[in-house]
Structure 1
Amino acid sequence: MAQLFPYLPFHENETPASWAARLSVLHGCPSPRTFLSDQGIAPSDLLHGRRAVIDRLCSAAGQDAEAVWRNTASSTGYQSFVLRDERIPASMMVREETRFCPLCLLEDDCRADNPGIARQDRLSWSLRVVTTCPTHGLALIHRARDHRDNMRHKLLVHVPERAEALLDLARTGLHREPSPLQSYVLDRLDGRKGPEWLDGQTLEQAVKATQMLGIVMAFGTSINLGSIDRDGWDLAGRSGWQWTSAGKAGLHSAFDTLHVLAMDRGQGGQNYATVFGQLHRWLLEPGDRSDHGPIKRLLRNYILRNMDVCVGRELLGERVPRRHKYSIQSLALEAGVHRQTLRKILVERRLITHNDTGKSNSILLVDVKQGQDAAAALNRSVPFVTLPARMNATRPIVSCLIELGYLTPLFRSQGENKRDKCGFDSREVDFVLDRLHDLAPEIPHLPVEWVTLTQCTKRARIPMRDLLQRIFSGEVKNIGRAEGDQGFNALRIDI
C-alpha cells in the first residue's frame, strides 16, 4: 500500500477519529467518511475501534500503530468498550455532543494555518467524567450534535470561533480545578496507582460509586437524578471522592452521616430506602446491568449492623438470614413484653443512654444478643414482694442482698416503695440460692446451739448486712442447714 504524503503525525492526546478527520482535510477529501472509504475502511469500524482498521490506517499514513491503538476505545460487544485494558461502558463515553476547551483549540490553531488540520479532539474530552480541561482549568464547553454523521470535521463545524472569539469563550467560561475523580480516571488510564479501594474495582464501578454517593451527600437522598446537570454531576464526583478515596472506613463514615441526617430530619432512621435514597435505588437496579461493585456489599452490611432489619426480608438482592440489631419496638413485639418496661431495663443495663430519652422506641437500637437477654430476663422477672417467700428469707434479708448487689433490680423504679414496683431476674435469684447452699451444706445432725441469722446478728451484735457479706465471702466457716431445708431462714451458724 502506497503511503500518504505529506506525513501528519498522530498526537498522544487525540482520538483516532480526530486524526482521521485531520488527515481527510490534509489530503483534500470532503469528509472523513470519504477519506476512510478511499483507504478501504468502513467508518463504523473506526468508531468501534477494530484493531485491523487501526493498523490499516496507520500503515497508509506511515504512523506507528501502537500510539494510535493506545487511544482507541475498542468495542467488545453491546455498549461496552476497552480502553488501555480498562473496561468502559458506552454510558461513560461522550458521543452525542462535541466538547472542547477553547484555549486548547486556540493553541492548536496557532500551530497551522488550517484549523481543520491543526485542531485535535482530545481523548479526555470523550470521557463523560472529564468536565474540566486539566491543562487550563477551564470547564469544557458542550455543543450538541444532531446525528453521529455530523462528526464530519466536527471541531470546525461545531466550533467555528477563531482567535479572539475563542479567548472570549475562555474569559466567560467557568474556571475551576479538575475534580479529583477526573484526575483519578486520567491517571488510572495512564497506568498510575490511586486509592487502594478504588483500584480494586473496575473503572466504571469506581466512578459510579463515587458519583452516586456524592449525589446523595451533595443534594440529599430524595433528589431527582433527572434534575442534575453536568455541573451537578461534577459536584457529585467531588463530594463523593472524599469518602470513596478513604476506602471502607470512608464509606462507613458516609453511611453514618446519612443515617444521622435522616434521624435529625425526623425520618426515623430505620427505613433504609429513605435513609440512603437514590444510592439505595441505584444499587437495586436490575441484574442485567453491570455489577455495582463492593459498595453494594458494604452498604448491605452497614444496614444489617446498624438498622432494624427482620429475618427473611430481601435486602439489596439477598435474603436476611439473621438479625444484628433490634429496635425496642420490634424486640418487645417478638418477646411479648411491654416496650416501655423493656426500655427501662435496657437503660438500666446501659444498652441505651439517658441521652436517648426523647427518641421513640422504633428508632432506638440494641444488639441482638444483649437485647434478647434483657427481654428474656423480663419474661423471667419476679416482683420484690415474692422474694421473701421464694428465698425463704425475711424482708430485711432480701433488702440487704439488694444493697450488697447480690440481687439487681431489672430497672430502678421512682417514688415510694420503689422496690415493690421493680422486678428481679429469677435466674439471678436461683443463682444466689445455689451459691448460698454451696456455702452452707446440709448437715444431718445440726448442733442445737447453732443459731439462725437473726439470732446471730443479735448475739454477735453484727448488722445483717455485714453478716451476709461475710457469709458470701466465705469468712463464716461453721455454717449449715438441716437436711431438706433451703433458703436463708434454714441457715444455722455456730456463734
Structure 2
Amino acid sequence: MGLMHILKPHIHFDGSETLLSYAARLAAIHTGLGTQQLLSDLGINRQAFLSGDLDAVAQFSEQTGSDYEKIRRGTIRLLTRHNEFRGEAMSREFINPRVTKICPQCLAKDRILGGYRHQVMWTFRCIRSCEFHGTTLIETGSTKAMDLRQVASSILLSGAGRGIAQNNERPSFAAWLSGRLNNRSLATDWTADQTIEQVIAAAEMIGAVMTFGHDVNLKRVSAVNLEDATERGFRIYMQGHDVVAEALTDIRRASQARAVQAGPLAMYGRLFDWLDRRANLIDPGPIRDILRDHIVEHSAVGHGDVVLGVEIARRKFHSLNSLVEVTGIERRRLSRLLQKSGLVPDGMSDAESGRLVFPATDVEDLCADIADAIQLQDAPDFIGASKGQFLALYAAGIISPIFPVEERGAVRNVVFAQRHLNVFLQKIADLIVLESDGFDDFQSISYACQRGGGTTTDVVARILNGKIFAMRRPGEPGLSKVLVRPSEAIATKDPAAA
C-alpha cells in the first residue's frame, strides 16, 4: 500500500467504533457530503460496503491507507439470514449496525474533538448504558440511520439526555462484553470458546424465566427489567455447567404444571421453547446440551425420543404411565406395588404419582422381578431347601422378599425375586464339587446342626462369609446339597448363639 493512497489529513481508526462510524468521520473531513460521496469518489460499491462485504472493506482499506485488520474488527457484516461480527454469527436483533441508541455525553465530547464515533458497544441490544459515563443510552428514534451525524445534531440541540442520572452499578455482563471486545477475557473462562451471543442470550433466557416466570415474553419486558434479568442469569451462567444445571432444577420446580403428561415446555417454559424452535439460525451453544441432559435426567424420556434435536439412545427414567406401557401391569396395581416398594409415598394421589419419575434400571428390574416372582410356598423348592430351612433364612434376613413386610418373617402375600434367589444359588454353585464319597467327615447342613453346629441360619451365614469351608454334591446346586464338617461348624460357632 503506497503513501499516495493515504487520505490527508489522515484520521486513525478508533478501535471502539464501527467501520461505518470511521467512514463517516473520513467523509466529513474529505467531502463534507457524507459517506455516500466518499465511497463514490473511491469507486467502492456503497451497498456492498454498508453490508460489510469484506472485499469492499479491503478496497476501502487500500484506498484510504487504513489498517485492514483493525477496521475489519469494527465491521458488522449483514448476511442473508443473520449478521456476523468478528467471525461470530449473531442474530439481527442481537447486534445492529444502525444508529439506534447513543450516549449524549459521548456525542458532546466527540463534537469538541471533531468527529462523532458510533461505538461498537452501542450496537448490542443488551447494552443500555455508557461504559464511560455510566448514563443510560437514549433512543435516537431512527431505525435506518447508518451515519451518526444524521442524528447527532438534532439530539444535542434538543437537550436529550440532560439530567439523566449516572448508573453507578454497571452490569457485570456489560463489563464482560467490554473485556471480550478489547481482548481482556480470561482464557480459563468456560465461555472463552463460546460466542458473545451464546453467552448473553443464555443468560438472558435463564434470568428472564427465573425472574418473570415460564411464560415470559421478552418483547414485553422493559429494557430496565430485562437488563436486571440478564444480569441475574449471567451471574449464574458464568459459574459453569453445574451451577447452570442447578438453576434449571429451580426453574423446573417453579413450574405450575400439574398434569401427568406435562412435558419439557411446561417444565422449562420459554427457555425450552427458545432452544427447541427459535434458536435455529444461531447455534445457542452449550446451554442446549445442558438443558437436554437435565430433561433426560429428570423426565421419563424414552429410547428413541428426540429431545432438542437429538435422539435419546437410552432411557434413564420411567413415569408411572411409561411403566404401565412397558410392563403391561394395570396402573392401579402397579401404583400399589410401587407404594409397597417405597418408590411412591403412601397416600399419594394418582395425579401426584403420575408426575413422579423413577430410575429406569432400578424400576425395570423391580417390574421384571414382579413379573416372574416366586411365591413363598414355592421358594423352598427353588433353592433346594426344606420349608423350615427357607423360613429360617427368610426370617433372619439372609433371603429377602421383593417388598418390605411390616414384621420380619411375615408370611402373607410375600413373594421373592428369581433374580435374588439365583444370586443365592450362584454362591452355592461356586462351591467345590465333592466328586468322591471318600470324605465321610463332610455332612449336610441339617446333620451339622443336629450335632450342635448351630442353627441353619447361623451355619449358612458362616458359610457365606467364609468362616466354614463348604463343598457341594454334584448336580443342580441347592441348599440340601451343601456339605460341611460338623466339627468345624461346632468349633466356629459363636458362644453367644449357643
Q: TM-score, normalised by structure 1?
A: 0.78
The counterpart of 1:296, out of the listed 270, 288, 302, is 288
Q: Which amino acid aligns with 1:108?
A: D
Q: Which amino acid aligns with 2:216?
A: I
1:330 is the counterpart of 2:322? yes
Structure 2 distance, partners of 1:470, 1:149, is: 88
SS class of match (2:77): strand
Structure 2 distance, partners of 1:5, 1:68, is: 19
State whether residues 134 and 168 of structure 2, in contact with CA within 8 Å, keep that contact through their aligned partners in structure 1.
yes
State whether residues 98 and 158 of structure 1, in contact with CA within 8 Å, keep that contact through their aligned partners in structure 2.
no
The counterpart of 2:132, out of the listed 135, 158, 163, is 135
Give the CA deviation at 1:301.
2.6
Q: Which residue of 2 aligns with 1:419?
A: 411
SS class of match (2:269): helix
Alignment map for 1:397-416 (pairs within 5 Å): 397-414=389-406
State whether residues 385 and 420 of structure 1, in contact with CA within 8 Å, keep that contact through their aligned partners in structure 2.
no
Alignment map for 1:450-461 (pairs within 5 Å): 453=446, 460=452
Give the CA deviation at 1:227.
1.6
Q: Which residue of 1 aligns with 2:47?
A: 44
Structure 2 distance, partners of 1:100, 1:434, is: 79
- 1:95-137 CA-partner distances (Å, limit 9, x unpaired): 565311233233334x26xxxx443322221222322211122
The counterpart of 2:197, out of the listed 195, 204, 208, is 204
Q: Which amino acid aligns with 2:244?
A: L
Give the CA deviation at 1:222.
1.8
Greater displacement, 314-323 / 64-73: 64-73
- 1:364-408 CA-partner distances (Å, limit 9, x unpaired): 333332222222222221222333455565544323202333211
- 1:243-287 CA-partner distances (Å, limit 9, x unpaired): 32223223322222223333x764669621222222222222378
Structure 2 distance, partners of 1:78, 1:312, is: 35
Greater displacement, 360-369 / 307-316: 360-369
Structure 1 distance, partners of 2:53, 2:83, is: 11
Structure 1 distance, partners of 2:419, 2:373, is: 9
Structure 1 distance, partners of 2:100, 2:30, is: 24
State whether residues 393 and 489 of structure 1, in contact with CA within 8 Å, keep that contact through their aligned partners in structure 2.
no
Structure 1: 5+ residue stretches without partners = none
Structure 2 distance, partners of 1:150, 1:12, is: 17
Give the CA deviation at 1:220.
2.1
State whether residues 73 and 81 of structure 1, in contact with CA within 8 Å, keep that contact through their aligned partners in structure 2.
no
The counterpart of 2:377, out of the listed 376, 385, 398, is 385
The counterpart of 1:343, out of the listed 338, 355, 371, is 338
Structure 2 distance, partners of 1:201, 1:224, is: 25
State whether residues 208 and 229 of structure 2, in contact with CA within 8 Å, keep that contact through their aligned partners in structure 1.
yes
Q: Which residue of 2 aligns with 1:369?
A: 361
Distance change in 2, residues 1:32/1:364 (3 Å) = same
State whether residues 404 and 469 of structure 1, in contact with CA within 8 Å, keep that contact through their aligned partners in structure 2.
no
Q: Which residue of 1 aligns with 2:492?
A: none
The counterpart of 2:221, out of the listed 228, 238, 244, is 228
Distance change in 2, residues 1:413/1:36 (3 Å) = same
Greater displacement, 199-208 / 65-74: 65-74
Q: Which residue of 1 aligns with 2:94?
A: 92
Structure 2 distance, partners of 1:469, 1:226, is: 70
Aligned Cα RMSD in Å? 4.4
Q: Which amino acid aligns with 1:49?
A: G
State whether residues 479 and 493 of structure 1, in contact with CA within 8 Å, keep that contact through their aligned partners in structure 2.
no
Give the CA deviation at 1:153.
2.3
Distance change in 2, residues 1:355/1:68 (3 Å) = farther
Give the CA deviation at 1:441.
6.0
Q: Which residue of 2 aligns with 1:105?
A: 107
Greater displacement, 380-389 / 125-134: 380-389
Distance change in 2, residues 1:334/1:57 (3 Å) = closer
Q: Which amino acid aligns with 1:211?
A: E
Structure 2 distance, partners of 1:66, 1:482, is: 88
The counterpart of 1:257, out of the listed 231, 250, 259, is 250
Give the CA deviation at 1:440.
9.2
The counterpart of 1:18, out of the listed 18, 21, 24, is 21
Give the CA deviation at 1:326.
2.0
Alignment map for 1:97-246 (pairs within 5 Å): 98-109=100-111, 111=112, 117-145=114-142, 147-148=144-145, 153-162=150-159, 166-168=161-163, 170-171=164-165, 175-194=167-186, 196-246=189-239
State whether residues 453 and 486 of structure 2, in contact with CA within 8 Å, keep that contact through their aligned partners in structure 1.
no
Distance change in 2, residues 1:47/1:341 (3 Å) = same
Greater displacement, 382-391 / 298-307: 382-391
Distance change in 2, residues 1:179/1:2 (3 Å) = same
Q: Which residue of 2 aligns with 1:78?
A: 80
Greater displacement, 218-227 / 3-12: 3-12
Q: Which amino acid aligns with 1:201?
A: Q
Q: Which residue of 2 aligns with 1:306?
A: 298
Structure 2 distance, partners of 1:203, 1:477, is: 69
Structure 1 distance, partners of 2:146, 2:484, is: 106
Distance change in 2, residues 1:399/1:120 (3 Å) = same
Paired-residue identity, %: 21
Distance change in 2, residues 1:485/1:178 (3 Å) = closer
Q: TM-score, normalised by structure 2?
A: 0.77
SS class of match (2:300): coil
